[in-house]
Amino acid sequence: MKLSADAVARVSGQMSRAELDDPRRSRRLARFSAKMAAAPTSSIPHALEDDAEVQAAYRLVNNRRVTFERVLAPHIEATVESARAVRETLLVHDTTDCSFPTLDPEEIGYLQTGKAGFRLHFTLALDWARWRRPLGVIHAEPVFRSKRRRRKRGKVSGAETVGRADSEFGRWWRGLKNSGEQLAGCERVVHVADRESDSYELMFQALDAKQDFIFRVRVDRRSRNAAVAGPDWSTVKEIAAGCEGILEREVALSRRKKKSAPGMNKAHPPRKARMARLQFAATAVVIPRPRYLHDPVPATLQLNLVRVVELDPPQGEPPVEWLLYTTLPITTKEQVADVVDKYRARWTIEEFNAALKTGCAYEEREFESRDALLVMLAMSLPIACELLWLRSRARTDPSLPATDVLTPVQLDVLRALGKRKLPPQPTAQDALLAVAGLGGHLKRNGPPGWVVLYRGMQKLKAYETGWAAAQRAARRRS
């Protein structure tokens, strides 16, 4: 899968504005980025082709003046500019592990597994009016561990972690604060995050900064219904279960594979793809301050609560249930549906992670230093945004030409060697399905994912190499 010339030019143009203390470095970065954007899954030698260019690229990423922050800065500036031009921006926050198991964890850092790698906490800006169109990354913070952390037996209390100077949880507030401040002049901004954002202190900080948010509930904490008079305390889940449903909707649920980590299966159990009938309900709740927090954190917070629950799930399948804290209004059915739709857009960041790790093959990079990996990450983030938008357009705009995602030679190879026939004037969707077919995709499994597209592209590139060799041999014989 390739990016269009316009997309490559956007990535290269952003990189050319990086302040690297020497305009020659900025120009080299722009050329390097353009080559990688044109062939995102390729190795650096394969993308650059010329040995001198390859050596220059390695010198560039290892230059101490070329840093993660400096390389990413122009992309963040472009993202802020784009966000200011839209009516409503969603800021989706997430943390993902970047794993490099063949590298030295003493140099790169440790993941929980003990392998080399680091955590990346970042914020992706989406244009809500144009359903989940990625505008770019507006905040990114790598988190490194100098040694492997071993879990204590039993739960770690909030009192143990709240005062730690090295607490990794602080990344959530830094991401929310930094991205919110950069978009202070925007018409409307809403922060969206999954379960890990369910923190009393974080929600207070967001309220204090006058930032709207939708955070998924993780803790079934003490609570009381704000609409009911009286001091009686219950729990968030009990209050949500007692709410009357106000609308229903059918939603397609994607298949979820079983994870190797048992904890992940508990939070996100495996399931088959299905159509689910969901019921929405909403109310306002008051939650008390945890005992380990003190003034100036207020004694209680009042938040709106939205519940989404599946009606009549298939036998043996656990029902879908989401509980969402939000500052957005929930007075009408339309407002409640809007909150749920905005939260559902959070899944775009999972697609972005796949675009980065598979579409850009970021975890295949084998630089031996942490700084070089970070520079490559800063280059890859804008490319991943373009790849994500490209695939979204290919799914939603059937008129997009196939040449926006594949070269004419690759289309010729697919016609000759692909498993799926291409029409005379193929669209981008036709091309991606043909590539996915090479990767083993079955039509009954729905739209192809990043992994199957990656496998298909690797096979297509091998075919393309053989195709070019055969053509050169034929020319020599003639």
The rounded distance, in Å, linking the Cα atoms of 428 and 403 is: 7
Q: Which long-range contacts (C-beta less than 8 Å, at least 24 apart) are formed by 231-235?
A: 233/288
Confidence class of residue 86 from pLDDT cuts 50, 70 and 90? very high
Domain 87-152+169-355 CATH class label: alpha beta
The answer, yes or no, to whether residue 60 has pLDDT greater than 90, is: yes
Q: Tell me which H or E stretch contains 280.
A: strand 274-288
List Cα–Cα distances, 27 to 54, 145, 182, 267, 462, in angstroms.
15, 34, 27, 46, 31
The answer, yes or no, to whether residue 273 has pLDDT greater than 80, is: no
pLDDT digits (tens, 9 = 90+) for 229-272: 766 889 999 999 999 999 999 887 777 676 665 555 566 677 77
Global pTM reads: 0.86
- CATH superfamily for 399-477 is Transferase Inhibitor Protein From Tn5; Chain (1.10.740.10)
pLDDT digits (tens, 9 = 90+) for 164-221: 545 788 999 999 999 999 999 899 999 999 999 999 999 999 999 999 999 999 999 9
Burial of 6 (0-12, 13-18, 19+ CB in 10 A): exposed
Q: What is the pLDDT of residue 432?
A: 84
The answer, yes or no, to whether residue 157 has pLDDT greater than 90, is: no
The contacts of residue 203 (CB under 8 Å, 6+ apart) are: 213, 215, 301, 303, 325
Angle, nearest 10°, between helix axes 370-396 and 23-38? 50
Is there a shared CATH topology between the 87-152+169-355 domain and the 399-477 domain?
no
Phi, psi of 214 (to 5 degrees): -130, 110
Angle, nearest 10°, between helix axes 68-84 and 370-396? 30
The answer, yes or no, to whether residue 22 has pLDDT greater than 80, is: yes
How many secondary structure helices (H) and strands (E) does the chain include? 17, 11
Domain positions in the chain are 87-152+169-355, 399-477
pLDDT digits (tens, 9 = 90+) for 358-410: 989 999 988 889 999 999 999 999 999 988 887 777 776 767 788 877 888 88
Q: What is the pLDDT of residue 355?
A: 92
Cα separation of the two ends of the chain? 33
